[in-house]
């Protein structure tokens, strides 16, 4: 098995347009796989990262052409932290709506579960302040030893 270094990082920057989140998803998956994460965890991370990028594009950058989404992935030797940053046209509250039952009953729109999904898929996540006013969503995943 590939023995990951003590620390390592990659940075990505994409146009703030729907569809480009797939490029981030593949790059992050490839990085996590190299670091020795189990396939199942890599799949969870892919979904979480896609949701975070979609939020950045749709909400933080309000689907404005010409803006960017920046993604940094830092491995510290035991965990991977992925930060997704937009340019903060709209601030997010970070409020997670847990109304899954309501949505299943059709009493609420099916969209808007991105943050809830992220909280379920990664080991820790939250919002950080950014110096340039953008929203920064961080997601951490610890690496469990492979069976």
Partner 1 sequence: MADVSHNAGPVERVVELHLPSRLGYEKVAMDAAASLARRMGFSADRVDALRTALAEAITNAIEHGNAHDAQMRVLVMLTVRPSELVVSVADQGRKPLMPAHLSPPPTIEESFTRGDKGGWGIWLIRELMDEVEFTTAPSGGNQVRMVIHLEKQS
Q: Could you give phi then psi for residue 10, rounded to 5 degrees?
A: -130, 150
Token output for 133: 């006013």
Evaluated on CA atoms 57, 59, 61, 62, the torsion sign reads positive
3-state secondary structure 43-108: HHHHHHHHHHHHHHHHHHCCCCCCCEEEEEEEECCCEEEEEEECCCCCCCCCCCCCCHHHHHCCCC
Establish if 2 lies at the interface with partner 1 (CB under 8 A): yes
Minimal distance, residue 98 CB to partner 1, in Å:
32
Among residues 18, 34, 102, 128, the one that binds partner 1 under rule CB under 8 A: 34
Toward partner 1, which CB reaches closer, 55 or 87? 87
CB atoms within 10 A of CB 57: 24
Instruction: Rank residues 70 and 123 by Cβ distance to partner 1 and give the closer one.
Output: 70
Residue 145 in the binding site for partner 1 (CB under 8 A) = no
CB 10 to partner 1: min, Å: 6
Give the footprint of partner 1 on residues 50-69 (CB under 8 A): 65-66, 68
20 binds partner 1 (CB under 8 A): yes
Which residues lie near partner 1 (CB under 8 A)? 2, 5, 8-15, 17, 19-20, 22-27, 29-31, 34, 65-66, 68, 70
């Amino acid at each position: 098995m590939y023995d990951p270094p003590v620390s390592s990082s990659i940075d990505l920057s994409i146009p703030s347009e729907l569809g480009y989140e797939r490029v981030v998803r593949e790059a992050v998956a490839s990085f996590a796989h190299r670091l020795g994460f189990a396939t199942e965890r890599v799949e969870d991370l892919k979904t979480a990262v896609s949701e975070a990028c979609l939020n950045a594009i749709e909400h933080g950058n309000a689907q404005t052409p010409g803006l960017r989404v920046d993604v940094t992935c830092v491995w510290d030797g035991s965990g991977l932290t992925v930060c997704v940053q937009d340019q903060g046209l709209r601030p997010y509250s970070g409020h997670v709506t847990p109304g899954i039952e309501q949505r299943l009953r059709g009493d609420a729109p099916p969209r808007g579960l991105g943050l809830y999904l992220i909280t379920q898929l990664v080991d820790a996540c939250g919002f950080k302040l950014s110096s340039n006013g953008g929203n920064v969503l961080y997601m951490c995943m610890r690496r469990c030893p492979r069976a």
